[in-house]
Every structure is written in structure tokens, then in C-alpha cells.
Amino acid sequence: MLINRQLRLKKRPEGLVQREDFDLVESSVPALSDGQALIQVLYLSMDPTNRVWMTDKPQYMPPVAIGETMRGLGLGRVVASRSKKYAEGDLVQGLVGWQNYVIASDEGTPFTRLPAQSGIPLPTLLGACGFSGMTAYYGLTDIAPVQPGETLVVSAAAGSVGSVAGQIGKIRGARVVGIAGGPEKCRYLIDELGFDAAVDYKADDWKNELAKATPDGVHVNFENVGGPVMRAVLQRMVLGGRVALCGLIAGYNSAEKPADDYSIIIVKRLIVRGFLAFDYAEPERAARDLANWVREGRIKAEETVEDGLENAPVVLNRLFDGSHRGKLLLRVGVEEG
Amino acid sequence: MLINRQLRLKKRPEGLVQREDFDLVESSVPALSDGQALIQVLYLSMDPTNRVWMTDKPQYMPPVAIGETMRGLGLGRVVASRSKKYAEGDLVQGLVGWQNYVIASDEGTPFTRLPAQSGIPLPTLLGACGFSGMTAYYGLTDIAPVQPGETLVVSAAAGSVGSVAGQIGKIRGARVVGIAGGPEKCRYLIDELGFDAAVDYKADDWKNELAKATPDGVHVNFENVGGPVMRAVLQRMVLGGRVALCGLIAGYNSAEKPADDYSIIIVKRLIVRGFLAFDYAEPERAARDLANWVREGRIKAEETVEDGLENAPVVLNRLFDGSHRGKLLLRVGVEEG
């Protein structure tokens, strides 16, 4: 009999997430009914949105309820099936939750079946070729399409979404400036990922550096951070500049009220547009383009992989302390074979 | 010899504007050179943007310098001309400044010549048919075009821009909900201007009233106010709703930092777009449509007119205490004849 382990939300975290905010609950995996498939979770995607889901702030999905298994994106393998949609051996991506096994049902929330033998490692399928990469893709092709010769500024540029966004900006012919924390990440953006410039927001003179890196102003801002970083970028926008508003990670651990300023939107006549990759119903083109770019070496994918379901709450905090690079993943299951 | 009187900015106001923040300076009007015309200012437009121009906050034009004649929109008559562009008797609109006379030069900042004998009273030419009306027009035809059957919410709905915006919303076939202060203004919106509903933001239960007035959510927000009013409207937006961000008057008298929240833009996948009527280089179509609508009675124009250049600083405050309706104007010159 298979044993499932689940991290269930015990109380809403204050500030950084604590292991004690969750209960680790073991139970046996029930037998499948017709129309169901059993998915073994292999990797969990550690995303800033997880932190938002733990709060009861207004958000784009209902908050995770107290006592509920934590919601989370991940990648898994179908290990048993009585389903018409999922066959044993299928690789799937979707809201698997913070647990070792999840049952998919043909009528329930769908999981995306991933192509077999893509030649792309599983962590990359969940990172640069998964929702993180797709988020970058939609932001720069649909929400705020960046044009050749324009200047694109990406915040959290060494992260899972930002690193792909910057590289897509280069593919589209833009001048790309990344904002990241620390000289090592900045070197990485330029030397490894091909950014034109990088600004270390932890340096004292970072606003001057941002100005120097954007002599023609900023045409497109792919924004992941919010707060002081975003304020500084908006001051550099050209009239009529476009903002693809993807995330506001600076505020996700804070109980303080936001202190954003809408007036710059008028002053600069900006178009600020919020979006979610979840909204795109047919991700096939994005997935195909991203996979091709990865295979061609035009997008370099990097993952930081940690181990162990029970560590999820603590590993998630690495998103907020800047101690990881690329996609942050948690390996929660190992395949036999 | 003609005497000009000018209100020159003496110090930057704190909170409401004081008469003492300005010097009233008299000087003789100099003789015209070739390429110049003398404009007698008849009406000054009292606009929230005047208050912003008095500050040194980042803004869309340079702040008015200490010692400089206060910048302001207005309407005047060419009373003498050695210009190729402006003939004696022309009615003009533009940045005349807080003074009795201004000299236009053929090479300088242009004034817009208004059609003679339009059949529209001068105050309305400066209000519903001037920049106020054009601001409403561009917001709902270009920035966030509202469609038949959609719900439009307009804040500061009894003001110069809002009152026209709501009426344009009706012309375009939308359900129009206005937000204004006090039951009298709300009745005016419904009974006189034909709004579908009006919400008194000074009433205790105004957020519930807003919800009841927008059962299908809000598709377009024409926003003039910002602050708590805007926050409440954004909570009612449909996914993918559009915001024409015209003004943020709630913050114009405040030295406090804004406490806006960008996260709702992601949660609701909004498109928020800032704009200025000044940006539209060819206002002829807007002016013609507005004038036709006024003549046809489809837009009802209302003005609150005060007298006396020296009163400009104090009259401007009426924009912020809600004690006026429609366009707030100051008559500073009377035509002979």
C-alpha cells in the first residue's frame, strides 16, 4: 500500500514561512475509481505565488484554507491509471500540491501532459519550459511585446521567470538590462545569459547605474519585484512605455500596506498590464518555442534543486533571500528504473 | 497703456492653497513686436493639475518655478495683433497663465484658435468642449474604449471631466455608474445627466452601494480620484478590465506618500493606462464631436463661474472640497461691447 505525505496549512505564516506553519500528514493512497489516475509527484515548483496563496489577501485564486494541502505547481508521472485522459507513464504538469501523490480525475482540474522524450531534463521542463518560462514568454510576446532596438528592463533577472524573460528579450532584438542582487548574479546575467547590462540593486549607487544602463530610457519593464526597484525603473520609462506586471515579490512577505504610486502612470502615460500564465488556455506554441530555444542553446536554463517534501516551507524562503539562481525546485519523488 | 496683473508663485503651498502663496504683480503690457499678438484672458480654467504644477513632485511638465507666473489653461480674445497666426478678434484657448494679458508669439507655445460663432457659450467652450471634455473623450474612445452593454464607473463624476465622461459612456451604450460626494450630486447625475446609478462616497455604506450598482462587475474605470475610491472600484473590476487613469486628485493636496497597491492589477489582470489630453496633437475631431453633442443636448454642460483674478488661489480649493459642480471657471476679463 502506497503512503501519501501531505503538507497541510496549519496557520497563515507571518513574514518568512516556518516549518511549524504546516502539518505533515501521512495517509494511505486510496484505490482508483474509473476516470482517475494516480500521479507520483517528482518535482515541486517553488514559486512566489505559493507565499501569496498562504495569505488571505485578495488574490487570483481562493487562498489555501487552513487544514488544506498546500497548493503548488509541480511535475509528476502517472503511475497507475483508470483514466481516459492520462495513461500510465505520462509525464504531467499542473497543480499537484505539496504532497507525494495526487489523484487526477478526468472531470477535475486538468494536468498538462508533456511530450515524451523531449530531450529536455525534467527540472528544465518545470522551469524554463514550464510555467516560469511561459510567464516570461507571454509577458514579452502578448502583454508588452518588446521590439528590436527597444530597451527592456527585467527585475529579479536571475530568477526563474526573469532569466528567461531577459533571454527572450535578446532573441527579440532588444537591449536587455537585468536587475539582480549582488555582483555574482550580475556577472552571470552578462557573461552567461548575454544581457547587455546588469544592475546590482544592493549596491549603494544602483539608481545611477540603472540610469547609465538605460541611456535611451526604458521602453518595456518586465516587473517581478515591485517596491523601490519598480519605482526606480518607472522613473526611467519613456513616455508611453509598457509594463508587463508579472509579480510584486517585494511585498509578499510583508504585512505592511503597499506604498505604490499610481501617479507615475499618468506622468509617463504608461500602459501597465497585469497577467498570469495560467490564463492562456493553449500553451502549446509557447512550450514548443521555449523547448526549441533551450535545445538550440538560445535560452540557457538553470535550476536550483533541493530535496525532501518536508523541507518545502523552508526552501520556499530562498525565493525571498536571493540565495538561489534560476528555477528553484524541490525533488519530492525519485523514479525507479 | 494697458496694465497686466499676474499671480506669481511665491512659495509652494502646503495642503490647501493660500492667497499668500502668490504675489499679485502689476506691470504695463509691452508693445508688440512683429510675430506677436496680445490676448486678453477672459476665463481661467481651474484644474486639479494646477495644484500639481505648484509642487515640485515629478510631473508631466516642469513645476512652476518660484517667482514665475502661475501656469493655467484659459480662454481669451486676441485684442491686438502683429502675428501671422492670430488675428484681432480670434478666440483662443491654451496656457494663458494666471494673468489678465498674455502675448502669443508665432514661434512660441501655440494657442488653439476656436471657431467663431459656434453657438456655444464661452464657459462651455472652455469646459465640456475644451480640455475637460476632450480628456473625457480620449479616455473613453482611445485609452479605454467602452463598449455597449459594458459597465463604466466614473469617479469625481459631477466634476468637469467626470460629468462628460459619464455622458459619453451613455452615448456609447454603456451602463454608467458615477461616484460623487453627497446625495444632491448623486441625484444630479441620475436625474439631469442620465447616469444609470450614482454612489455617494460620503455615505457609510458606499462600498455596498457600489457593489449593488455594478452587479456584473466593472469593465471600464474612468478614474479621476485615486485613493480609497479607486481601491474600491478596482476590487469590483472584471478580469481583464481597463482603467483610463486620468487623475488622482485625492493625493494632490497631500504631502503623504501614496499608498496605492499594484497587486490588484495582477489579481484582476487589468490594463491601467495613464493619459493626458495635451498629448493629442489634432483635437479637431474631439472638439467637433463634443460641440455637436452639446448642441444636440446629448451632453449637458454645467459650469460654476467665480470672478476675479486675485481669487484664483482660493477658488482652486473648491476643486478639492467638493463644493462645485461641472466645470470650475474664473472670469478674469470682461469684453467690451
A235-269 tens-digit pLDDT:
999 999 999 999 998 888 777 777 788 999 999 99
The chain B residue lying nearest A235, using CA atoms, is: B58
DSSP secondary structure of A223-290: ES--HHHHHHHHHTEEEEEEEEE---GGGTT--SPP-B-THHHHHTT-EEEE--GGG-S-THHHHHHH
Beta bridge partners of A36: A105
CA distances to A158, A281, B24, B46, B165 from B93, in Å:
52, 51, 23, 14, 21
Could you say which of A60, A259, A269 has the minimum Cβ distance to residue B266?
A: A60
User: So what's the pLDDT on residue A118?
Assistant: 83
**Half-sphere exposure (Cβ direction) of A92: Cα atoms closer than 13 Å:** 29
CA distances to A50, A60, A155, A161, A218 from A222, in Å:
20, 19, 7, 10, 10
Q: Delineate the domains of chain B, giving CATH numbers in brackets.
A: 3-126+302-331 (3.90.180.10), 131-278 (3.40.50.720)
Task: Convert the pLDDT of each residue in B203-238 to its tens digit.
Answer: 999 999 999 999 999 999 999 999 999 999 999 999
Strands A36-45 and A91-94, how do they pair?
unpaired
Could you say which of A57, A271, A274 has the minimum Cβ distance to residue B273?
A: A271
Backbone dihedral angles phi then psi of residue A209, each to the nearest 5 degrees: -60, -40
Which segments of chain A have a pLDDT < 50? none
Residue A168 in grid coordinates: 527572450
Task: Convert the pLDDT of each residue in A81-133 to its tens digit.
Answer: 999 999 999 999 999 999 999 999 999 888 988 887 788 999 999 999 999 99
User: So what's the pLDDT on residue A278?
Assistant: 87
Q: What is the DSSP letter of A29?
A: P
User: So what's the pLDDT on residue B337?
Assistant: 59
Maximum CA extent, chain A: 63
DSSP secondary structure of A139-161: IIIIIS---TT-EEEESSTTBHH
ipTM of the complex: 0.91
Cβ of A57 under 8 Å from any chain B Cβ? yes
Sorted by sequence, the CB contacts under 8 Å of residue B297 that are 6+ apart come out as none
Residues of A in contact with B271 (CB under 8 A): 271-273
Q: Is the pTM of this model over 0.90?
A: yes
The chain B residue lying nearest A265, using CA atoms, is: B274
The dihedral region occupied by B184, where left means phi > 0, alpha psi between -120 and 50, and beta the remainder, is alpha
**Total residue count of chain B as it appears in this document:** 337
SS3 category, B292: helix
pLDDT at residue B194 greater than cutoff 80: yes
For the residues B15-42, what does the mean pLDDT come to?
Answer: 96
Residue B72 and residue B52: Cα distance in Å, rounded?
A: 11
**Half-sphere exposure (Cβ direction) of B309: Cα atoms closer than 13 Å:** 26
Which residue is listed with cell 515541486?
A44
Measured from the Cβ of residue A89, the count of other Cβ atoms closer than 10 Å reads: 10
Cβ of A275 under 8 Å from any chain B Cβ? yes
Residue A186 in grid coordinates: 550580475
Residue A29 in grid coordinates: 493512497
Give just the sign of the alpha carbon dihedral A194, A195, A200, A204: positive
Q: Do B266 and A247 touch (CB under 8 A)?
A: yes
User: So what's the pLDDT on residue B81?
Assistant: 97
